[in-house]
Amino acid sequence: MRGKSVSLDSVSMRFGDFTAVQPTTLTIQAGEFFSILGPSGCGKTTLLRMISGFMSPTGGTIRIGDADVTALGPNRRPTALIFQNLALFPLMPVWENVAFGLEVRGVSRRDRREKAEELLALVALDGQGDKLPTALSGGQRQRVAIARALAVEPAVLLLDEPLSALDLKLRQHMRTELKEIQRKTGVTFLYITHDQGEALTMSDRVAVMRSGVVEQVGRGDDIYDNPATSFVASFVGESNRLTGTVDSISGGFATVSTRFGTLTARSGPGLAAGDKTIVFIRPERTRLQDTPDGAGLALRGTFLRRDLEGPFINLFFDCQGTPFSAHITNDSRHAAETGTDHWLRIAPEDALALPAGALARDE
Ligand SMILES: Nc1ncnc2c1ncn2[C@@H]1O[C@H](COP(=O)(O)OP(=O)(O)O)[C@@H](O)[C@H]1O
Ligand SMILES: [Mg+2]
């Protein structure tokens, strides 16, 4: 099997007066594991439906490999789609479920069986072909659905939140499995999710979407360390936030006036002197100290409480009405007592100033 690229050129979708997907231009490379990450209702499924051919865009052009597929129906595209609801046939043995698409194409029973066994081995279900789907676990059924989708040898596999019905442990396990299947087959995976952990762990690249707009495309590290907008910074990972006004920008750093004093922060894209800004500081980059010493701005915070996560601990502070948190690894005992004051230092390289804009809602 071999993947193909997917190119969107100003692809958009309107429903009456409402634009679910704004004109989007984007290329997914052949053989890439590409995720579209965004909150519910931002247009992910609509985008996927347009790529699969189940919905015609109201504007733009879609190419798969070298072919313009914009006017082609789903059966004439080299794509296969996997939903959250797997729709396996309950009374059909697993191998027949896998080979179902081949029967429609007139492949002989013997060849179907052989192909099904090959695919079952690929998804680590060797020898399970004669069972009924009901005899399998949720994660195994998910892999049967993937084998079935791969049976027709698609160049692009489209996955719409396929893990959301599984419990947490299984979801995490399936991330590794999916990534492995993708690597072995070389098929282009276009994976849709509202779960940042899924997107960051599996993907070669991620597109972050909000209200029908792709706000940023990049590798996971890029998205996390260099978010391009306030929305991306607040949607992906946790962050502390200080609002302020940009005094000046020089050498990639912005000087920002805040109610706590002047702060130096890395300057994000599109920021200019005089702009309103939100400065983002990751909790794991917040430096907890006994003194205010060091470069950057030190805030005085009153310790509120701690949450033990196991490998790390979240410490929560109140800085004159502004909440601030710090993550520390659980390799030492932090003995802060509620109500005691501490210094939280924000080093310039650990803070990112972005144009003030919409934030992700806490859900
Ligand atoms: N067939 C449709 N008719 C009208 N509105 C739709 C239709 N399909 C989706 N929408 C709207 O488009 C927006 C994006 O939906 P969707 O693509 O399903 O989002 P997501 O998959 O990111 O949750 C939502 O506001 C949804 O209500
Ligand atoms: Mg959806």
- Tell me the pLDDT tens digit for each residue of 210-269: 999 999 999 999 999 999 999 999 999 999 999 999 999 999 999 999 999 999 999 999
The single-letter code of the amino acid at 83 is F
Indicate whether 64 pLDDT > 80: yes
Q: Which amino acid is at 158?
A: L
The CB of 12 under 6 Å from ligand 1? The reply is no
Identify which ligand lies nearest to the alpha carbon of 208: 1
**Residue 163 contacts residue 174 (beta carbons within 8 Å):** yes
The Cα 209–Cα 4 span in angstroms is 23
End-to-end CA distance of the chain: 39
Residue 363 is predicted with a pLDDT of 45
Q: Is 40 in the pocket of ligand 1 (CB under 6 A)?
A: yes
Question: Is the Cβ–Cβ distance between 53 and 68 less than 8 Å?
Answer: no
Could you give the CA distance from residue 294 to residue 98 in angstroms, rounded to a whole number?
61
More confident residue, 174 or 250: 250
Ligand 1 atom closest to residue 48's alpha carbon, by position in its atom list = 17
| Residue 165: per-residue pLDDT | 77
Atom of ligand 1 lying closest to residue 42 CA: 22
- Residue 40 CA: nearest ligand 1 atom is 23
**Ligand 1 lined by 16 (C-beta under 6 Å):** no
Share above pLDDT 70 across residues of the chain, in percent, rounded to a whole number = 97
CB within 8 A of 267, min separation 6: which ones? 246, 249, 252, 253, 254, 353
Ligand nearest to the CA of 58: 1
- The residue assigned the tokens 């409480």 is 305
Q: Please tell me the class of the 6-225 domain.
A: alpha beta
What are the structural domain ranges in the chain?
Answer: 6-225, 238-355
> Which residue has a Cα nearest atom 21 of ligand 1?
45
Domains 6-225 and 238-355 share a fold: no
Task: Please state whether beta strands 188-193 and 156-160 pair in parallel, antiparallel, or not at all (unpaired).
Answer: parallel
Burial grade of 197 (CB within 10 A; 0-12, 13-18, 19 or more): middle
Q: How far is the CA of 20 from the centre of ligand 1 (A)?
A: 6
What is the mean predicted confidence (pLDDT) over 270-286?
Answer: 97
Ligand 1, residue 49: give the atom nearest the CA. 17
41 pocket-lining for ligand 1 (C-beta < 6 Å) = yes
Which H or E run includes 178?
Answer: helix 168-185
Calpha distance 286→282 (Å, rounded) = 7
| Ligand 2 midpoint to CA 47 (Å) | 9
Check pocket membership of 42 for ligand 1, CB cut-off 6 A: yes
The two tokens of residue 54 are 């189940």
pLDDT confidence band for 97 (50 / 70 / 90): very high
Residue 161 CA: which ligand 1 atom is closest? 21
The count of other CB atoms within 10 Å of the CB of residue 323 is 12
Give residue 161 CA to ligand 2 midpoint distance, Å: 7
Q: Residue 302: beta bridge partners?
A: 318, 341
Q: Closest Cα to residue 269, out of 228, 312, 327, 301?
A: 228
Query: Which residue's CA is minimally distant from atom 1 of ligand 1?
Result: 15
Q: Which tokens hold the place of 142?
A: 């998910």
Query: How far apart are alpha carbons 265 and 68 in whole angstroms?
Result: 45
Domain 238-355: state its class.
mainly beta
